[in-house]
């Protein structure tokens, strides 16, 4: 059952495809096939689904999940979870608003902030996000506590802090005009916003980082065998710390962009995003057991999920179906990937 | 000289291990006592949020125990699961779904016993599903139960449309007896739900301490490979424990639905973290292998004290943060007391 990343020498009896592709490319191609099939079905069932504008929307509407997915994917490859990203998004958004709001302007506590310039506010908010990442890293990399327990705790800590700052609601008044610029900026002549550009750039960087850097390759080694990785001189603690900081930073950037888009710091923002980020990574073939997966696969997974959910909306299914659908799709994807990989090996 | 030195060193070490063991035994009770004292001393009338009076008055204790029924039942079974090194993030959703299904059946004219029996069967089915995914198909527990989390929650939301927390339909009315199970006093002012929970958790404590299932669970959690090599059927044991957890989740759901006299599809949200906190407070090792159902009960009571106590002192929006802090403090305590065995 273990997914093995190393290629075995090819035997003549095996199918031709086995010897030439790595398991990773195989799964990625497999998911491309799934995407094409799902998209085909959706195009038949839902009117106007195949139009270019809709295809663009499928990618651009999910930019936040894809940005989160990068950090979550790298951590999953090392065998760790990060469930705190949703909380970090809420916390950074709320903090950015709080830092930016003018000081002493109103009787209402929620309208008063610290009155810092936008740049400083963003920098401080991102620092706080990385603080949450540092807490994660300390417990998981140093104290060796299971990541799921720690990140559930920091998720509550971050979201709880956001709720305390906003008194359980939101902050959206007395904000400078500069606050909404980042979120509403778009490429002239198109509807593609800055956030989408950031997403594409980050995916590109992550792809190169994963394939071409020593750090990126070592992530796989840590995931497939932490003990061997440590014995061969890799400082696992350092790498995990860096990855948790990265994941929190990416969540922070998402939080800043979302807060700017809505011009509000909402404490319930991004509820359940940690689950979505995990789902897209799993859909893209990332495996927690064997140091296996890729950012490209996660990207494909995000688009598959987007096709499924938006075609469900197109079929006029009630939004209540979303939860069940996500569960079923993930379940089928995990089983299908297992099956495909097992078939290939035998 | 050197032997004397070594001896005294060994004595010192023995003493420090003994001290650590003693602290490990009693610290949870100390924490509970401190929390109770703090909340009893803080003057509630200053906040005048509710006039129920003193934290230690019989009324508020009964109220606390009544509302604690779901977490008491659920975290007991959860301990067994964590001792065997597994985890179940779907317990909250399973509880919500059970609550919704129970309320739906009561609304549609089922009487109490058929409704509760069918709900418990549903809980067993959910446990069978979780157990199959984790132990048979060998999907990582976190991922498998996250999938079932969204599945159960989705089903609960499909039965009760979004935005509606109660089940109401035109002419049908919820019969008033739905409250009896979780609110009507039967003994010492406490309802049936509480005594059923006490009985079943007592049974769980016996199972954990005295039966082979409890021993096998600890063996699997401690060293799965060794347990399998010594002839323990790890798949079956794990599966049975998942079924127990599903059963208890359904029981918790029934208690919640009866207490609120409606089926709320979100009523179990956060129950999984509450369970994890209770279990960790009770000193169960993160990675499995050791733990105690009885101590988890103390942990669950601490959680209830903190949440209800906090509500009287500070605004409700502090609660999530407080719970997160309690979780991280429990993690640190477990680390300091040497519960975690570093595996990497």
Residue that is written with structure tokens 């059923």 in the block: B196
B186 vs A142, more confident: A142
**Residue B161 has what pLDDT?**
65
- Summarize the confidence of residues B31-38 as an average pLDDT: 79
Q: What DSSP element (H or E) covers B135?
A: none
Interface of B with A in 75-104 (CB under 8 A): 87, 89
Of B238, B266, B272, nearest to B134 by C-alpha is: B238
In angstroms, rounded to a whole number, what is the distance separating the alpha carbons of residues A116 and A112?
12
Burial letters A106-137, b for 16+ CB under 10 A, else e: eeeebbbbeebebeebbebbbebbbbbbbbbb
Tell me if chain A has a CB within 8 Å of the CB of B43. Answer: no
Query: Residue A274's closest chain B neighbor by CA?
Result: B146
Query: B32 lies in a domain?
Result: no
Query: Using CB atoms, which residue from A153, A324, A330 is nearest to B328?
Result: A153
Adjacent-strand bridge partners of A193: A186
End-to-end CA distance of chain A: 11
In angstroms, rounded to a whole number, what is the distance separating the alpha carbons of residues A326 and A310?
12
**Residue B4 has what pLDDT?**
66
Query: B232 lies in a domain?
Result: yes
On average, the pLDDT of chain B sits at 80
Is the pLDDT at B248 greater than 90? The verdict is: yes
- Count of pairs with CB atoms under 8 A, one residue in A, one in B: 130
Query: Using CB atoms, which residue from A139, A160, A319 is nearest to B331?
Result: A139
pLDDT tens digits for range B111-160: 888 888 999 999 999 999 999 888 888 788 888 888 888 888 888 888 87
Query: B252 lies in a domain?
Result: yes
Query: B250 lies in a domain?
Result: yes
- Residues in A closer than 8 angstroms to B153, CB to CB, are 323
Query: B28 lies in a domain?
Result: no
Q: What DSSP element (H or E) covers A148?
A: helix A147-165
Indicate which of B130, B150, B265, B277 best probes the interface with A, i.e. most A CBs within 10 Å of its own CB. B150
Q: How far is A335 from chain B (nearest CA, A)?
A: 9
Pairing of strands A265-266, A170-171: antiparallel
Interface of A with B in 203-242 (CB under 8 A): 226-227, 230, 236
Question: B75: which 2 tokens?
Answer: 């975290």
- Residues in A closer than 8 angstroms to B327, CB to CB, are 149, 152-153, 156
**Residue B244 has what pLDDT?**
92
In angstroms, rounded to a whole number, what is the distance separating the alpha carbons of residues A249 and A243?
10
In angstroms, rounded to a whole number, what is the distance separating the alpha carbons of residues B232 and B72?
29
Q: How does pLDDT run along chain A (346 residues), one tens digit per residue?
A: 444 444 444 444 455 555 566 777 888 888 888 888 888 888 888 887 888 888 888 888 888 999 999 999 999 889 888 999 999 999 999 999 888 887 777 777 777 778 788 888 899 999 999 999 999 999 998 888 888 889 989 999 999 999 888 887 888 777 777 787 787 777 777 777 888 889 999 999 999 998 889 888 888 888 888 888 889 888 899 999 999 999 999 999 999 999 888 888 888 888 888 888 988 888 888 877 767 888 988 999 999 888 888 888 777 777 777 778 888 888 887 787 777 777 766 6
Tell me if chain B has a CB within 8 Å of the CB of A149. Answer: yes
pLDDT tens digits for range B148-172: 888 888 888 888 765 455 555 556 6
Query: B38 lies in a domain?
Result: no
Provide the domain limits for residue B209. Answer: 55-336
Q: What DSSP element (H or E) covers B185?
A: strand B185-187
Query: B186 lies in a domain?
Result: yes
pLDDT tens digits for range B298-342: 888 888 888 877 776 777 788 888 888 888 888 888 777 764 444
Question: Which of A85-89, B176-180, B270-274 is most confident?
Answer: A85-89
Query: Using CB atoms, which residue from B140, B158, B340 is nearest to A145?
Result: B340
Q: Where are the domains of chain A?
A: 21-345
DSSP letter (8 states) at residue A272: T
Residue A55 burial (CB count, 10 A)? 14
**Residue A10 has what pLDDT?**
45
Query: Using CB atoms, which residue from B139, B157, B344 is nearest to A323?
Result: B157
B324 with A154: Cβ contact below 8 A: yes
In angstroms, rounded to a whole number, what is the distance separating the alpha carbons of residues A30 and A334?
12
Dihedral sign for Cα atoms in the order A275, B163, A165, A126: positive
Count up the domains in chain B and report the number: 1
Residue B51 pLDDT level (bands cut at 50, 70, 90): very low
B280 with A157: Cβ contact below 8 A: no
CATH architecture group of domain A21-345: Orthogonal Bundle (1.10)
Residue B225 pLDDT level (bands cut at 50, 70, 90): confident
Q: Which long-range contacts (CB under 8 A, 24 or more apart) does A221-228 make?
A: A221/A291, A222/A78, A222/A79, A222/A291, A223/A77, A223/A78, A223/A79, A223/A290, A223/A291, A223/A292, A224/A5, A224/A290, A224/A291, A224/A292, A225/A291, A226/A79, A226/B344, A227/B344
**Residue A282 has what pLDDT?**
86
In angstroms, rounded to a whole number, what is the distance separating the alpha carbons of residues A230 and A214?
15
Q: How far is B299 from chain A (nearest CA, A)?
A: 16
Strands annotated E in A193-246:
none
Interface of A with B in 62-101 (CB under 8 A): 81
Of A282, A293, A295, nearest to A336 by C-alpha is: A282
For position B68, which CATH number holds? Answer: 1.10.3470.10
**Residue A203 has what pLDDT?**
92
Query: B22 lies in a domain?
Result: no
R_g of chain B computed on alpha carbons: 22
In angstroms, rounded to a whole number, what is the distance separating the alpha carbons of residues B153 and B140?
20
A150 with B344: Cβ contact below 8 A: no
**Residue A11 has what pLDDT?**
46
């Amino acid at each position: 059952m273990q997914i093995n990343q190393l290629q075995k020498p090819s035997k003549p009896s095996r199918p031709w495809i086995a010897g030439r592709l790595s398991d990773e490319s195989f799964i990625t191609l497999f998911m491309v096939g799934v995407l094409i099939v799902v998209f085909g079905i959706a195009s038949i069932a839902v009117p106007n689904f195949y139009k270019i504008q809709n295809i663009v929307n499928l990618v651009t509407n999910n930019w936040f999940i894809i940005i989160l997915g990068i950090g979550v994917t790298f951590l999953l490859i090392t065998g760790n979870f990060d469930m705190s990203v949703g909380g970090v998004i809420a916390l950074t958004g709320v903090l950015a608003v709080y830092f930016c709001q003018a000081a002493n302007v109103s009787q209402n506590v929620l309208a008063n902030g610290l009155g810092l310039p936008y740049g400083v506010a963003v920098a401080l908010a991102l620092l706080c996000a990385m603080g949450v990442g540092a807490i994660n890293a300390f417990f998981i990399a140093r104290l060796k506590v299971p990541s799921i327990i720690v990140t559930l705790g920091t998720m509550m800590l971050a979201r709880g802090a956001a709720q305390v700052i906003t008194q359980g609601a939101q902050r959206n008044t007395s904000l400078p005009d500069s606050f909404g610029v980042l979120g509403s900026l778009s490429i002239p002549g198109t509807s593609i916003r800055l956030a989408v550009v950031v997403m594409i750039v980050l995916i590109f960087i992550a792809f190169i980082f994963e394939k071409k850097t020593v750090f990126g390759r070592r992530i796989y080694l840590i995931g497939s065998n932490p003990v061997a990785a440590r014995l061969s001189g890799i400082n696992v603690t350092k790498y995990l710390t860096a990855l948790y900081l990265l994941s929190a930073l990416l969540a922070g950037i998402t939080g800043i962009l979302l807060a700017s888009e809505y011009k509000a710091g909402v404490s319930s923002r991004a509820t359940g995003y940690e689950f979505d980020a995990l789902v897209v990574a799993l859909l893209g073939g990332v495996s927690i057991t064997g140091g296996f997966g890729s950012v490209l696969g996660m990207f494909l997974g995000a688009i598959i999920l987007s096709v499924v959910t938006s075609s469900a909306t197109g079929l006029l299914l009630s939004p209540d179906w979303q939860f069940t659908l996500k569960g079923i799709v993930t379940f089928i994807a995990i089983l299908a990937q297992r099956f495909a990989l097992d078939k290939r090996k035998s | 000289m050197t032997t004397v030195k070594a001896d005294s060193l060994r004595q010192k070490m023995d003493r420090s291990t003994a001290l650590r063991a003693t602290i490990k035994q009693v610290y949870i009770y100390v924490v509970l006592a401190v929390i109770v004292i703090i909340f009893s001393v803080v003057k509630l009338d200053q906040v005048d949020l509710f006039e129920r009076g003193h934290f230690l008055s019989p009324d508020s204790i009964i109220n606390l125990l009544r509302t604690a029924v779901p977490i008491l039942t659920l975290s007991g079974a959860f301990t067994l699961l964590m001792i065997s090194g597994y985890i179940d993030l779907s317990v909250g959703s399973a509880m919500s779904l059970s609550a919704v299904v129970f309320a739906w059946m009561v609304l549609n004219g089922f009487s109490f016993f058929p409704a509760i029996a069918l709900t418990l069967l549903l809980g067993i089915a959910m446990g069978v599903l979780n157990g199959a995914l984790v132990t048979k198909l060998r999907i990582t527990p976190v991922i498998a139960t996250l999938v079932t989390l969204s599945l159960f929650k989705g089903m609960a939301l499909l039965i009760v449309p979004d935005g509606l927390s109660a089940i109401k339909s035109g002419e049908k009315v919820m019969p008033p007896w739905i409250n009896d199970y979780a609110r009507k006093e039967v003994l010492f002012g406490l309802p049936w739900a509480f005594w059923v929970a006490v009985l079943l958790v007592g049974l769980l404590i016996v199972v954990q301490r005295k039966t082979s299932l409890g021993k096998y669970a600890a063996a699997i959690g401690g060293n799965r490979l060794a347990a399998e090599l010594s002839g323990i059927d790890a798949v079956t044991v794990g599966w049975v424990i998942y079924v127990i957890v599903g059963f208890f989740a359904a029981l918790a759901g029934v208690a919640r639905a009866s207490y609120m006299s409606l089926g709320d599809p979100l009523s179990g949200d956060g129950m999984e973290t509450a369970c994890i906190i209770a279990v960790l407070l009770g000193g169960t090792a993160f990675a499995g292998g050791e733990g105690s159902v009885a101590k988890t009960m103390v942990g669950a009571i601490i959680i209830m004290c903190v949440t209800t106590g906090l509500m009287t002192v500070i605004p409700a929006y502090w609660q999530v943060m407080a719970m997160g802090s309690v979780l991280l403090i429990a993690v640190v305590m477990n680390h300091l007391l040497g519960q975690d065995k570093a595996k990497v």
